[in-house]
Amino acid sequence: MAKMPNQMAQLTVAKYRCSRCWSSLVKEYAVNSDGEIETAPNGEALAVVKCRSCDADHGFVTQHFIERERVRDFGDYFEVKRDLIKSGVIQKEMQACQLKT
């Protein structure tokens, strides 16, 4: 896991999500073998950012990317469903409900 200055880690946690599962991120201070918080050459504390769910660093994506992907997946779902109804593989929900009654 990459160590970064504390201020950059806070910004990363606020604006990004895990690239693997899209879960939120957490920041932990980087601690050396003596149990002391590691610092950058300028004296700022170093931190590690990782996924809250995966407990690892798989990279980060923006919230905007996640929302764009969800909209695209939603559109793909309806396109495939429409094509399956046209080809007769599945029935519309209204027709299925009427057949049951």
Which pLDDT does position 15 carry in this prediction? 94
User: How far from 95 is each of 27, 79, 89, 90, CA to CA, in Å?
Assistant: 52, 19, 13, 10
Query: In terms of C-beta density within 10 A (0-12 exposed, 13-18 middle, 19 or more buried), how is residue 17 classed?
Result: buried
What is the β-pairing status of strands 46-51 and 60-62? Answer: unpaired
Which domain covers residue 52, as residue numbers?
3-100
| Total tally of structural domains belonging to the chain | 1
Which pLDDT does position 96 carry in this prediction? 52
pLDDT tens per residue, range 20-49: 999 999 999 999 999 999 999 999 999 999
CA 2, CA 60: separation in Å to the nearest integer? 12
Residue type at 80 in one-letter notation: V
Which pLDDT does position 46 carry in this prediction? 95
pLDDT tens per residue, range 62-95: 988 988 888 888 888 888 888 888 888 888 765 5
